[in-house]
A = this chain, B = another copy of it.
Amino acid sequence: MDYEFGPETMHLLKKPVTIYDIAKKLAVSASTVSRALKGGNGISPATRKRILSAAETMGYSTNSVASNLRRQNSKTVGVIVPKLNSVFLAEAIAGIENELSKAGYNLLISQSLESVKKEKENVKAMASHRVIGLLVSLAYDTDDINHFRQLMDNGTPVIFFDRVFENDHFPVITINNFRAAYELTSHLIAEGCRRIVHATGNQLQNVYKERTMGYKQALMEHGISFDPSLLIISNLTYEEGLEFGEKLAADGKRPDAIFAANDQFAAGCMQSIKKAGLSIPGDVAIAGFNDDPLCCLVEPNLTSVEYKGFSVGTEAAAKLVDVIKNGSRSAYKIVLKHRLIARSSTQKMDTLLLGRDEPFSSTLVQ
């Protein structure tokens, strides 16, 4: 048999066998079959066995579409992320899938491609599919979350992770971005840096806004006045990092450190700064954020903030399962651990590895 069911040959297809087919064959009622199939009580072991084996031989496959409609419950969870091809988000989704499949849920996934517009469409699709919960990391330009309102109104739990919007209605899962950036900046200052560039993203996004605040706070506390010309807003791609590094290397009044809000940008900077013949961290110290695997591949190794996508995903999914099953909310904000990992890209002094096994903020904060 070959792979060629054209519009003309459709009639050749066996159509899926239903519980009625099984029922007829065994001369029982459909409800008996239904009961047998779902494995609870209220049915004799004998008939169950007959039904199960008939189902097997007839090639029966539950129609969950029908079942979902009838039970008003889809066993499907939606996930909306800005993009699927990012190490962090891929890790997060892996964590989510892992957790959710354990709980017997399926995953409907879509990407907003960093656009609120598509995000709104995605939400609508999720609503149509009657997902029983939604996990979301917001698009680059999302600046309010009214488009999630309707879902919430009919009781569908929505949980935000990583790129979130602080609010009083939905749980939110992040790290303490402020604190992490504060720690990182303080580390740079401790290494003797004074003119520290901060390259970051859209300030509408909590993650970037908070990191910027942490950066400013650290400067302030160390008596360094904030220089707006050292704050760079960028899309934080590797390429933009490259470009920025080039410009910086040519700069007469060159900064002595770069703190980028992600590792890609930092790696780009590193590349072009090395190419320009400057030494790292001697001339310019460089730090990133996320602790992407690339941190240990570039030379010198890149100082960064560890923030595991997999755990974020796992945590978000676990929280969702909890909310679905218990219907209650135990915390509206979960702050996950982070860890500053100082590597050679910032260690001008002979300092010790700063990575701490006792990270700053651990889990649950109400």
Q: Indicate whether A150 reaches chain B with its CB closer than 8 angstroms.
A: yes
Interface centre among A15, A124, A171, A293 (most CB of B within 10 A): A293
Nearest CB of B to A185, in Å: 25
A125-163 interface with B by 8 A CB criterion: 125, 127-130, 150, 152-155, 157
CB closest chain-B residue, reference A71: B65
CB neighbours of A29 from chain B (8 A) = none
> When chains A and B are docked, how far (Å) is the Cα of A149 from the Cα of B296?
44
Q: Indicate whether A74 reaches chain B with its CB closer than 8 angstroms.
A: yes
B155 touches A5 (CB 8 A): yes
B127 touches A310 (CB 8 A): no
How many chain copies?
A: 2
Q: Indicate whether A1 reaches chain B with its CB closer than 8 angstroms.
A: yes
CB neighbours of A127 from chain B (8 A) = 61
> Which of A108-116, A221-229, A243-251, A356-364 lies on the face that meets chain B?
A108-116
Q: Indicate whether A106 reaches chain B with its CB closer than 8 angstroms.
A: yes
CB neighbours of A69 from chain B (8 A) = 63, 65-66, 69
A65 touches B130 (CB 8 A): yes
> When chains A and B are docked, how far (Å) is the Cα of A221 from the Cα of B300?
41
Given contacts A16-B154, A107-B109, contact A130 B63 (CB under 8 A): yes
Report which of B1, B14, B84, B152 forms a contact with A93, defined as CB distance below 8 A: B84
B94 touches A106 (CB 8 A): no
A151-179 interface with B by 8 A CB criterion: 152-155, 157, 168-171
Q: Indicate whether A351 reaches chain B with its CB closer than 8 angstroms.
A: no
A293 touches B238 (CB 8 A): yes
> When chains A and B are docked, how far (Å) is the Cα of A10 from the Cα of B171?
19
CB neighbours of A85 from chain B (8 A) = 87, 90-91, 93-94, 309-310
Q: Indicate whether A46 reaches chain B with its CB closer than 8 angstroms.
A: no
| Proximity string of chain A (95-127) to chain B, C-beta cutoff 8 Å, 1 when within and 0 when not | 001100100001111110100000000001101
Q: Indicate whether A194 reaches chain B with its CB closer than 8 angstroms.
A: no
Nearest CB of B to A165, in Å: 14
CB closest chain-B residue, reference A111: B97
CB neighbours of A169 from chain B (8 A) = 1-3
Q: Indicate whether A365 reaches chain B with its CB closer than 8 angstroms.
A: no
A83 touches B87 (CB 8 A): no
| Proximity string of chain A (6-42) to chain B, C-beta cutoff 8 Å, 1 when within and 0 when not | 1101100111100000000000000000000000000
> When chains A and B are docked, how far (Å) is the Cα of A35 from the Cα of B113?
32
Given contacts A3-B169, A61-B127, A169-B2, contact A101 B91 (CB under 8 A): no
Additional A-B contacts beyond A61-B128, A90-B90 (17; CB < 8 A):
A1-B169, A2-B168, A13-B154, A15-B154, A59-B150, A59-B153, A61-B127, A65-B129, A84-B94, A97-B109, A101-B111, A106-B110, A106-B125, A108-B108, A108-B109, A109-B109, A299-B299
